[in-house]
Each structure stands twice: as C-alpha cells, then as structure tokens.
Amino acid sequence: MIDLDRMEAQLSAALTAPVGPPPVRARSAPAAAPRTRGRSGPQPASASAPASVRELVERGAIDAVAARAAGAAHRRDQVTWVTMLALLEGRRDAVHRGITELEALAEAGDAEAAARAWVQRFWAGFEWGTDDERLDVLDHCRTRAYRYDDLVWWGNLSLLLAAMGKPDEAVRAFDATLALIADAPRDAVRFDVVTNMVEAAAFLGDAGRIAVAGRELRTPTGRFVVVGDGVVCKGSVDRYLALLHGATGDSATAGGYFRSAEAAHRAAGAEPLLARTRRQASTLVAAA
C-alpha cells in the first residue's frame, strides 16, 4: 500500500519547480460538459423546476438530453448539446460540424460559444485527433495554463501532455495543478480538474500520483462526470474510482468499479469511453 502522506510531502516539494511563465490568475474559460448516454428515461424532476441538462447528463438520461437540445431556445445551446452527444458516441463528422458551427457563432461575437468550441476541440483531439490537431490544442492548453493560470486548462494540459507521451512536462503540470486545487472551491470545476489528474497519472503509469489526486474524488458512485452545462460528458465516475482503487492496491474493488463503468458506458452508447474502460481495466496501474 502507498504511504499517501509521504507521497503528498514529496509532491509538495516538487511544486516549487518552475512550470512556464509566471501565472496571472485569470479566470478559466468556461469548460465543456461531459455527458452520458443512458437510454432509460430521466428520473422525475421536482414539479417546480425541470432538471437542467447537466443534471440529465449526470443521471444518464440521454433521450431527455436529445429532446432538450431539439427544443433549445438558443442556437448555441442546441449546437453544444448535439455535439456533446456526438462526442459521447464517437461520431466524428458530427463533432466536426458542431465545433465548426460554434466557431462561426464565436466569430459573430459569441464569447461563450468560443469557449465551448475549445473545450469540445480539446476532447475531440484527445480522443481521436491527428498529431497536428493535438498540437494545436496543446498550444491552447499551454497558453491558458502558463499565461493565464486557468485551472480548467491546467487540468486539460496535464492530461493531454500525459496522453501525448510528454512525461516530464506532464509531471510538472500535474504538480502545479495539484497546488492550485488546494485552494479551489469544491465545485464542478474542481471535480473536472481532479478527474483529469487521475487519468493523467494513469497515462503516466504513476500509482502514487493517481492516489494523491484520487483523494479528492469525493462523490457518489454511479453518476456521470459533466463539464459545464452539458458541453462534454467524460463518462462514469466509477472508472476514475477504479483507477484509484487499483493504484492503492485494492484490485478487487477496482474490478467492480470497472465493471460498473463498462455497463454504464455500454448503456449510454459511449463507444470511445467503453473502449477506454476496457483498455484501462486490462492494464491497471497498481501500487508497487
């Protein structure tokens, strides 16, 4: 088993290493919301207030999300939610069309559309982007993190660097992000960043860092992780819990969480997430 207190002390020492230009502490660009493809209908919302798209995605009420998108009053919301569903299902052409339309809205002066387009571009690039597409997104991550000290993009940067096989910079970004979340509110933004850190550490094969980041995963099981108000769905939180339990030496519990995540992703029609869940389950990063 890993001595987490010792690991945290080691990481805190590492955080003094410089990681790019001095931060400016600007607020993060709006993050995208991950979503889930459960075909069962939504659980009843309160009579006074219908569930938000974010809440529907967290519950896996995908048919309800599709219906909400079709009836959205604002074109930006409609495009965002339709593209989120396409990302979840791995429909690349539809994702490209949606991002292109958000960018067109951005050029017409919609700053929120621009922020959402970048978040969806990040996840499309992470999931199936070419080298050039990933490098383009990586430049954006570095700018938002190093120049503007944007917490969301620090988390994205850590994950993308790890996935692209750039371990030295990925570790520095991870450790810098760990320091930033210490003072961050315990909200959806922090949860998005923490789950990215767990996955980044898994790409690095670093059980210690998975364990340290995973200590921040304080959430009920069985829900889906959503970025923003339905911008992106990152899939079941159980997959991240599986990575955490594997890293701390509890392979039996990790296996149960992987099976739960696999079932949730299959029910949601989330083929890319289903494939990643199976791949991670077969190559579990375990404590030494």
Question: Does 40 score more than 80 pLDDT?
Answer: no
- pLDDT tens digits along 227-236: 999 999 999 9
Summarize the confidence of residues 35-61 as an average pLDDT: 67
Ranges of each domain in the chain: 27-133+190-282
pTM: 0.83
Summarize the confidence of residues 237-259 as an average pLDDT: 96
Task: Determine the pLDDT at residue 116.
Answer: 98
Query: Hey, what amino acid is at 282?
Result: S
Summarize the confidence of residues 218-222 as an average pLDDT: 87
Say which residues have a Cβ less than 8 Å from residue 6's Cβ, sequence separation at least 6. none
